[in-house]
Amino acid sequence: MSPVESGGAAGAATVTDAADRVHAFDAAIALAPQGEGEWHGHTSAAYANMIGPFGGITAAQALHAVLRHPQRLGTPVAFTANFAAALADGPFVVLARPVRTNRSTQHWIVEMRQHDRTVLTATAVTALRRDTWGATDVAMPGVPPPHEVPPPARRGRVEWIHRYDMRFIVGGLPPAWDGAEGHNSRTQLWVRDHPARPLDFTSLTALADVFFPRIWRRRATMTPIGTVSMTIYFHADEAQLQATGAGYLLGQAQAQAFRSGYFDQTAQLWNEAGELLATTHQVVYYKE
C-alpha cells in the first residue's frame, strides 16, 4: 500500500467515524452566527473537488445562511448561486439579507467572501406555500428501481463523489476517454447522500449539482470545466421532503447547447414516489 493510498483510506475512515455522530453533510454546512445576517463557515475536506470544494456544497452553505436567518419567511422557491471564484480551503463569510418582505414572499441577496473578496453571489426567493390545483408536466421516466441498478465499477477521483451513492441508469461516465462524440448528453441516475441522510432543502440544493459535466458525457473528453451559475426551483414543500426521507432521487440532466466556452444543463429531480421535487439549470465554463 503506497503512502498516498494509506492517507486516502485514513481520510475516508475519519469521515465515516464522524458520520456516526454528525453526518459529513451537516458538518460541511455548519455556520457560526456572527451577528445580524452574517455567518462564518469553513470549506469541508469531505466535499473537496479538483480545485476548491464541490459547487453543490458551496451552494448549500449559501442557502443555509438564508434558512438560518431569524427573519426568514417560508421555504425556498427559487435559488440562484453564481460561482465568482474557486474557494480556497479554509474559512469563509456568508452575508444574507432580506431585501424585500411581502405578505407571502421574501427576496434575499447573499454573498460569500474570503479575504474580503466575493467568491459567490446568490439570490433566493422564499415563500409561504398554499394548497392549490397542481399537476406535473414532465412525468418521471420509466426506469428500474434503485436496488436493481448497480453502483458504477469505477468512480471519479475527487473526494466529494464518495459522499454520494450514485447508480447510473443511462449516461454514466464514458467507458473510455477516447473523444468519441455522442449524439446527446443525457444522464439518468438514482442518487442519495452516502451515508443516507433525510432530505432537506440544503441537501436537495447540493444534489442539484451532482451531475458530472455534460461535456464529458457528450465528448468523452475530460476538458476542464467550472459551473458559473446555477438555479434551482423547489417544487417540494417540507412535508414532501420529510416523506421522501433518506430515499433515492432520480436525477436526469441534459445540456441544450455548447458554444464559445460555455454550455448549459437542464435537470430534474424526482423522489421514488415519482414526485418532481426540484428542477434545476446551470451554465458551465469549459476550456476548449
CA separation for the pair 282, 227 (Å, rounded): 7
For residue 208, the Cα-to-chain-centroid distance in whole angstroms is 4
Hey, which residues does 76 pair with through a beta bridge?
126
257 binds a second copy (CB under 8 A): yes
Shortest distance in whole angstroms from residue 100 CB to a second copy: 4
**Cell 476548449, residue?**
288
Site for a second copy in 29-88 (CB under 8 A): 77-78, 80, 82, 84-85
**Cell 466529494, residue?**
160
Shortest distance in whole angstroms from residue 223 CB to a second copy: 8
259 binds a second copy (CB under 8 A): yes
287 binds a second copy (CB under 8 A): yes
For residue 142, the Cα-to-chain-centroid distance in whole angstroms is 24
Give the interface size with a second copy as a residue count (CB under 8 A). 63
- Give how far Cα 58 sits from Cα of 89, 109, 131, Å: 12, 15, 32
137 binds a second copy (CB under 8 A): yes
Q: Of the listed pieces 51-59, 60-68, 187-195, 263-271, which binds a second copy according to CB under 8 A?
A: 263-271
Q: How many residues does the chain have?
A: 288
268 binds a second copy (CB under 8 A): yes
DSSP line for 13-43: HHHHHHHHHS-HHHHHH--EE-STTEEEEE-
Shortest distance in whole angstroms from residue 188 CB to a second copy: 15
CA separation for the pair 237, 235 (Å, rounded): 7
Query: In terms of CB distance, is 16 or 82 closer to a second copy?
Result: 82
By C-alpha distance, which of 206, 210, 208, 194 is closest to 246?
Answer: 194
CA separation for the pair 51, 68 (Å, rounded): 28
* Residue from the set 141, 228, 247, 272 that interacts with a second copy by CB under 8 A: 228
Query: In terms of CB distance, is 162 or 218 closer to a second copy?
Result: 218
219 binds a second copy (CB under 8 A): yes
- Count of alpha carbons within 13 angstroms of residue 196, beta-carbon side: 8
By C-alpha distance, which of 173, 186, 192, 171 is closest to 272?
Answer: 192
Q: Of the listed pieces 35-43, 147-155, 181-189, 194-202, which binds a second copy according to CB under 8 A?
A: 181-189
Shortest distance in whole angstroms from residue 144 CB to a second copy: 23
Site for a second copy in 115-134 (CB under 8 A): 117-119, 121-123, 125, 127, 129-134
CA separation for the pair 77, 124 (Å, rounded): 8
Q: Of the listed pieces 16-24, 42-50, 164-172, 277-285, which binds a second copy according to CB under 8 A?
A: 277-285
- The verdict on whether omega for the bond into residue 195 sits within 30 degrees of 0, i.e. cis, is yes
CA separation for the pair 126, 114 (Å, rounded): 26
Query: In terms of CB distance, is 147 or 183 closer to a second copy?
Result: 183
Chain positions contacting a second copy, by CB under 8 A: 77-78, 80, 82, 84-85, 99-100, 102, 105, 107, 109, 111, 117-119, 121-123, 125, 127, 129-138, 181, 184-185, 214, 218-219, 228-229, 231, 233, 235, 237, 254-262, 264, 266, 268, 276, 279, 281, 283, 285-288
